[in-house]
Amino acid sequence: MSEGTSLGMEDLSQDDIGTIEETAEDTILSRQTSVNLVPFVGQRFVSQEAAYEFYCSFAKQCGFSIRRHRTRGKDGVGRGVTRRDFTCHRGGYPQMKPSEDGKMQRNRKSSRCGCQAYMRIVKRADFDVPEWRVTGFSNIHNHELLKSNEVRLLPAYCSISTDDKSRICMFAKAGMSVRQMLRLMELEKGVKLGCLPFTEIDVRNLLQSFRNVDRDNDAIDLIAMCKKMKDENPNFKYEFKIDGHNRLEHIAWSYASSVQLYEAFGDTTVFDTTHRLDAYDMLLGIWLGVDNHGMTCFFGCVLLRDENIQSFSWALKTFLGFMKGKAPQTMLTDHNMWLKEAIAVDVPQSKHAFCIWHIVAKFSDWFSVLLGSRYDDWKAEFHRLFNLDFVEDFEERWREMVNEFGLHTNKHVISLYALRNFWALAYLRHYFFAEMMSTSQAESINAFIQRFLSAQSQLDRFVEQVADIVDYNDRVGAKQKMQRKMQRVCLKTGSPIESHAASVLTPYAFGKLQEELVLAPQYASLLVDEGCFQVRHHTEEDGGCKVVWIPCQGHISCSCYQFEFSGILCRHVLRVLSTNNCFHIPDQYLPTRWCGVSSSSTNTFETATIMKDNSEKIHLLESLASTLVTESVETEDRLDAACEQIGMALSRIKDLPRTTHNAIDIVYNCPSESLILQDVEEADGIIRFTVGNSHESVTLGKLKERRPRDIVEISRKRRHCSGPCCLSVQ
């Protein structure tokens, strides 16, 4: 605050409260470093800054902090500042200030209690040498003074050194959270937990100052950055809206890779709107999904100035425009009523559901005090209700729960029950959610979002930083996929169904199906009618699930609706299939979105026949190609030579006749994902799951240099197929 202005504290009658008259014999020129001295009238300082530091040191010893109050005069005008008052930080009273629209601000908590402790200094110029003298002092407080271990936490004493500021800035650029920064600095300095000279709030305020936010200019720069990315890649999509004051109101964008991912895996999405960019006071919305390997994928991002139906409606319409009007089958969001209304109007074809983990996060505030020691029991009962399969069971157990805990009139319980169609699994199992309601997927999505929130960059850099995060996530995902493909998969049941599923599904989806297969033998399958089976656990005498199987039509369904909900067959269906000598899962129950190959190649008999008859040659080609890539990336010369030779080899192959023209065309022209070749082979009782993907090139760290004999050894190991099988690289 500029000199000559008041900080809004109630005026102190300094001449009437504890002022000690100045006497000439008491005047001395004090050193501001003498912290053991008590201020006194007549004490002299060379500058007002020296007086402030002295009084600040005194206050810290006593257990309070100070602040600058009123002044007399103004710098650069006349004689300048001739009087300065320093007061206790709890002096004065908070004042209500009307806002721009005439409404009063909310009553914020304040530490001010009208404390009258102060020190006044006046500028004197004896013999033309200016100095500052104490003309008034009072150390009478109307509040309790803090202890030494408490006073250090006052904002005035939470100082951050220049070196610490530099390290915090570096940590922020690395994407660390504030808590991680503090813990690391505690370990570096060797201090106890929470004993740094500054707090989490101080670090956050420092990071805020790093941004040097200029919202209007940053918004212009953000739009310019989007235009630049659009010029570089025409498939980059963005849209924005300017308000009546020519300020950025909303902006949304999506990358070319995100649009492609949505085309394949946009059947179910999460639209997370639970976070804000505090530096710009804008709501952050992120569209996410899950791919066929169970990994989080990014679809789009939006920044909204306001949180209301109109803003959400604009965001939804813009996103659908990016995705060529294709709406998701299902959409998960926060428990937000404005967003709920916007989805009902703008995306009515999508089944809307609430993310259960956002609802559960509110339970502590809603019910912990109300239920006391019974809170944990109630929470466990709620989770059981959430996971029930049948609507009838849910309704009955809900009434029992309300009666048991006496929650008939609780507004939160009433609201949850009214909205049960949006969160209870018994009402949602008819819809496909791709396992996105599981705890593991919720944790994965939350970890992905936290990377966005760790960003400490300018607004115009935010789009680029999001692109970097998405690119990093894609690289990590590709590496994990490659590692999973290289891992051995053990067939735990020996069932032909398991072998069939392992050859078609991705490792992630196969793992989910395998869990059901392992549990299937624990269930009894009873034929109750033609094509109708009752399946129940062997410990149960009645109840269970109803499975309908019509082999001639290839139709099978279960009353638990797990396949409809996750795309993975349940243990009840698998039990019926295995009991009735069905050794393969019908194609329609191996959804393309969980498969490692495209449906075009999977459903083509000729293609499958060629792949089966020449599997050894194909595996050899995969091994040689993998070795070729590994050896080529060692140096640029090797890479150039490999590209040249592969180009010559490919041209030669294209010149060869196609004996089975149609089948080969299907394999060659199908999407790159169909080039993944899978097989399950057994040796010495160990089942090995071998997958190759020619379109993925992933660096798994620095690989040990392979000798040329590796290729020969691979060839010898594979050379028991019919016909010659060799590759000549010149």
Looking at 594, 623, 653, which one is the last position of a domain? Answer: 594
More confident residue, 529 or 215: 529
The answer as to whether 522 is a domain residue is: yes
User: For residue 277, what are the contacts with CB-CB under 8 A and spacing of at least 6?
Assistant: 284, 303, 459, 462
pLDDT of res. 194: 76
Asked if pLDDT for residue 708 goes beyond 60, the answer is: no
pLDDT of res. 696: 37
SS (H, E, C) 486-504: HCCCCCCCCCHHHHHHHHH
The reply to whether 122 and 233 lie within a common domain is no
The reply to whether 458 and 577 lie within a common domain is no
The answer as to whether 306 is a domain residue is: yes
The reply to whether 166 and 236 lie within a common domain is no
The answer as to whether 243 is a domain residue is: yes
pLDDT of res. 700: 33
Say how far apart CA 166 and CA 513 lie, in whole Å.
51
pLDDT of res. 667: 31
584 closest CA partner among 554, 606, 561: 554
Of the chain, the percentage scoring pLDDT greater than 90 comes to 30
pLDDT of res. 706: 38
pLDDT of res. 105: 59
The tens digit of pLDDT for each residue in 96-145 reads 666 555 555 555 667 788 898 999 999 887 656 678 889 999 988 988 88
pLDDT of res. 671: 33
Asked if pLDDT for residue 231 goes beyond 80, the answer is: yes
More confident residue, 730 or 341: 341
Task: Name the CA dihedral angle for 139, 143, 145, 151, rounded to a multiple of 10 degrees.
Answer: -110
Of the chain, the percentage scoring pLDDT greater than 70 comes to 71
The answer as to whether 705 is a domain residue is: no
Looking at 452, 474, 496, which one is the last position of a domain? Answer: 474
The answer to whether the beta carbons of residues 253 and 226 sit under 8 Å apart is: yes
Identify which of 12-16, 49-53, 619-623 has the greatest average pLDDT: 49-53
Beta strands in 73-154 (DSSP E): 83-88, 118-126, 129-138
Q: Using DSSP, state whether 267 is helix, strand or coil.
A: coil
More confident residue, 605 or 169: 169
User: For residue 62, what are the contacts with CB-CB under 8 A and spacing of at least 6?
Assistant: 139, 145
Q: What is the residue-wise DSSP string for 173-198?
A: HTT--HHHHHHHHHHHHT--TT-SSS
As given in the structure block, the two tokens for residue 40 are 């006194």
* Domain count of the fold of the chain: 4
- Whole-number mean pLDDT of the chain? 76
pLDDT of res. 315: 96
The tens digit of pLDDT for each residue in 75-94 reads 656 667 888 889 998 888 87
The answer to whether the beta carbons of residues 558 and 547 sit under 8 Å apart is: yes
Lowest mean pLDDT among 363-377, 528-542, 661-675: 661-675
The reply to whether 316 and 419 lie within a common domain is yes
The tens digit of pLDDT for each residue in 711-724 reads 334 333 333 333 33
Say how far apart CA 195 and CA 186 lie, in whole Å.
8
pLDDT of res. 686: 37
Q: How many helices (H) and strands (E) does the chain have?
A: 27, 19
Say how far apart CA 64 and CA 66 lie, in whole Å.
7
Asked if pLDDT for residue 703 goes beyond 60, the answer is: no
Identify which of 423-427, 469-473, 708-712 has the greatest average pLDDT: 423-427
Provide the pLDDT confidence category of residue 485 given band limits of 50, 70 and 90. Answer: low
Asked if pLDDT for residue 254 goes beyond 70, the answer is: yes
The answer as to whether 348 is a domain residue is: yes
The tens digit of pLDDT for each residue in 395-453 reads 999 999 999 999 999 999 999 999 999 999 999 999 999 988 887 777 778 777 777 66
pLDDT of res. 467: 74
The reply to whether 452 and 508 lie within a common domain is no
The reply to whether 312 and 354 lie within a common domain is yes
The reply to whether 230 and 324 lie within a common domain is yes
Q: Within 13 Å and on the Cβ side, how many CA atoms surround 608? A: 11
CA distances from 194 to 178, 186, 187, 199, 205 (A): 13, 8, 11, 8, 17
Q: DSSP code of 23? A: -
The tens digit of pLDDT for each residue in 176-219 reads 778 888 888 888 888 888 778 787 888 887 777 665 555 556 67
Q: What is the residue-wise DSSP string for 324-348?
A: TT---SEEEE-S-HHHHHHHHHH-T
Asked if pLDDT for residue 494 goes beyond 60, the answer is: yes
Looking at 535, 562, 594, which one is the last position of a domain? Answer: 594
Query: 535 lies in which domain range?
Result: 488-594
User: Once rounded to an integer, what is the mean pLDDT over residues 313-331?
Assistant: 95
The answer as to whether 721 is a domain residue is: no
The reply to whether 147 and 275 lie within a common domain is no
The reply to whether 194 and 247 lie within a common domain is no
Q: DSSP code of 154? A: S
The tens digit of pLDDT for each residue in 605-645 reads 344 445 445 656 766 776 677 678 778 877 888 888 888 88
Which residue pairs, CB below 8 angstroms and at least 24 apart, start in 18-24? 18/116, 18/136, 18/137, 18/138, 18/140, 19/120, 19/135, 19/136, 19/137, 19/138, 20/136, 20/137, 22/133, 22/134, 22/135
Q: Using DSSP, state whether 109 is helix, strand or coil.
A: coil
User: Once rounded to an integer, what is the mean pLDDT over residues 333-354?
Assistant: 94
Asked if pLDDT for residue 583 goes beyond 90, the answer is: no
183-205 burial, b for 16+ CB within 10 Å, e for fewer?
Answer: eebeeeeeeeeeebebbeebbee
More confident residue, 394 or 192: 394
Task: Name the CA dihedral angle for 215, 217, 219, 220, rounded to a multiple of 10 degrees.
Answer: 170
More confident residue, 241 or 177: 241
The reply to whether 53 and 168 lie within a common domain is no
Provide the pLDDT confidence category of residue 15 given band limits of 50, 70 and 90. Answer: very low
As given in the structure block, the two tokens for residue 415 are 């609201």
The answer as to whether 642 is a domain residue is: no
The answer as to whether 666 is a domain residue is: no
Angle between helical axes of 391-405 and 375-386 (0-180°, round to 10): 170
The reply to whether 434 and 317 lie within a common domain is yes
The reply to whether 87 and 222 lie within a common domain is no
674 closest CA partner among 604, 612, 570: 604
pLDDT of res. 534: 94
